[in-house]
């Protein structure tokens, strides 16, 4: 199975459209979404409709849950909370209905899917080898896919039993591993291009991809909607 894995879309329609076009050109058999369909951007309904129509699997993320009122936004940053409140006022019932159907974890083709981590599918950021090791311990499957951190990362279990981080164009391992495709709508690894992952379940390989898109088309409407400028500015820098 060759599957495209996407996550952290954050209502960034231009980025999502560019990624889905790239996955189609690459001949991906399925598209799996790890959550946060809505969030910082201003096109939640269009993004939700695309994910609903194009993805064979989809999870709910913490921003999706916040828009549904299932999470208290007191722990969110000021900018994130403002985006949640704006989205609640603008989003349609069709989008809310779609999000309500989703769970923060799942399985596809024998692979664990988690919005955040196997230990905490909603909140935990996996950014270190120690966190990855704990996540692999909590994952009942050999391979786990994670999102939430907005950083493209690959972790594998070493022969010593530790979680080892690898960054690069392609990752491969026959041991246990966790892999984060990076963010479609708001990358935070210094590369502003939209991210997605090409997963080959038979070969046990994961290839990271980046796609350029019209950032101005995504950033301009955020400012025009009266949301914090930071949400638009960071799209240009990938931070």
Per-residue pLDDT reduced to its tens digit, 110-167: 999 999 999 999 999 999 989 999 999 999 899 999 999 999 999 987 654 444 555 5
Condensed to tens digits (0 to 9), the pLDDT of residues 180-192 reads 999 999 999 999 9
Q: How many CA atoms lie within 13 A of 222 on its CB side?
A: 29
Q: Which residues contact 230 (CB under 8 A, 6 or more apart)?
A: 79
CA distance 120 to 68: 19
Instruction: Please state the domain extents for the chain.
Output: 2-237
Average confidence (pLDDT) over 75-98: 97
The whole-chain average pLDDT of the chain stands at 93
Q: What CATH number labels 2-237? A: 3.60.21.10
- Orientation angle between helical segments 229-237 and 78-90, nearest 10 degrees: 110
* Tokens standing for residue 175: 């041991």
């Amino acid at each position: 199975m060759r599957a495209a894995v996407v996550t952290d879309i954050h209502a960034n329609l231009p980025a999502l459209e560019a990624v889905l076009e790239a996955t189609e050109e690459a001949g991906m058999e399925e598209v799996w979404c790890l959550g946060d369909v809505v969030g910082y951007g201003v096109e939640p309904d269009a993004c939700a409709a695309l994910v609903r129509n194009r993805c064979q699997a989809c999870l709910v993320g913490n921003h999706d849950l916040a828009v549904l009122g299932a999470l208290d936004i007191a722990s969110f940053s000021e900018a994130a909370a403002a985006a949640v409140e704006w989205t609640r006022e603008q989003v349609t019932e069709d989008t809310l209905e779609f999000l309500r159907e989703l769970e923060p974890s799942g399985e596809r083709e024998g692979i664990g899917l988690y919005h955040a981590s196997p230990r905490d599918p909603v909140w935990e950021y996996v950014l270190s080898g120690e966190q990855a090791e704990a996540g692999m311990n909590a994952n009942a499957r050999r391979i786990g896919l994670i999102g939430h951190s907005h950083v493209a990362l690959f972790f594998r279990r070493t022969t010593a039993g530790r979680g080892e981080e690898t960054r690069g164009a392609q990752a491969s391992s026959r041991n246990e591993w966790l892999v984060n495709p990076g963010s479609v709508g708001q990358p935070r690894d210094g590369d502003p291009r939209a991210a997605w992952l090409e997963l080959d379940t038979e070969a046990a390989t994961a290839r990271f991809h980046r796609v350029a898109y019209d950032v101005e088309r995504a950033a301009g409407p955020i400012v025009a909607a009266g949301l914090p400028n930071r949400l638009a500015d960071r799209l240009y820098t990938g931070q």
